[in-house]
Amino acid sequence: MNPLDLIERYYDKNTKVYRILINHSRCVADKALALAKSHPEMNFDLAFIEEAAMLHDIGMIFCDAPEIGCFGTHHYVCHGFLGAELLRKEGFPRHARVCERHTGTGITRQMIKEKKMPLPYRDFLPVSLEEQIICFADKFFSKTNPDIEKDYFTILKSLSKHGDETVSRFKDWYELFLGQNEP
């Protein structure tokens, strides 16, 4: 499968949102692949990581985020869930799970309830190592400055708004994928 072919079915190549999606996704894919290659003992599916990382934000086109060129009708927190629906319709259920589970360090049913998020009431947490490494890599890059990799402490500060569990998952991944507690 070629993720760019799929993206170009839904995104006009001549738009700001297309450029943002491709730049951001390429950065995430490159970081996830580099991390995965540094852990041959984990037997990562590298082809899947590249495809899924390139597609993890495909649902943002359906959301209202004009600052990145998205003029849809849904709240941005829905982009993962909506992207998953799109990828399931296209016949890629495994890739869909990455879409719906990559936001933050995953979204729990409790978070949905407490924050009254417009999502189905269930857990959206990364399960497989591939899902986790893509979610982890995604935290290092924003869509507005995709070429600047965020540092550990900037990421922790951002994640802390979403609770200790979110921060704890990121720290666990940092240790798992980078082999250290913190920089």
pLDDT at 139 (0 to 100): 98
Q: Please, where are the H alpha helices in 118-183?
A: 129-138, 152-160, 164-178
Query: Can you give the pLDDT of all 183 residues of the chain as single tens digits?
Result: 999 999 999 999 999 999 999 999 999 999 999 999 999 999 999 999 999 999 999 999 999 999 999 999 999 999 999 999 999 999 999 999 999 999 999 999 999 999 999 999 999 999 999 999 999 999 999 998 877 999 999 999 999 999 999 999 999 999 999 988 777
Rounded distance, CA 91 to CA 86, Å? 9
- Contacts of residue 104, defined as CB under 8 A and 6 or more positions apart, other chains included, come to 159, 162, 166
Q: Is 183 domain-assigned?
A: no
Report how many domains make up the chain: 1
pLDDT at 182 (0 to 100): 77
DSSP state of 124: B
CATH code, domain with 32: 1.10.3210
Q: Is 123 domain-assigned?
A: yes
Rounded distance, CA 64 to CA 166, Å? 25
Q: Is 80 domain-assigned?
A: yes
Rounded distance, CA 137 to CA 91, Å? 25
For 114, the domain range is 3-178
pLDDT at 86 (0 to 100): 98
Q: Is 23 domain-assigned?
A: yes
Q: Is 62 domain-assigned?
A: yes
Rounded distance, CA 101 to CA 159, Å? 15
Rounded distance, CA 147 to CA 106, Å? 23
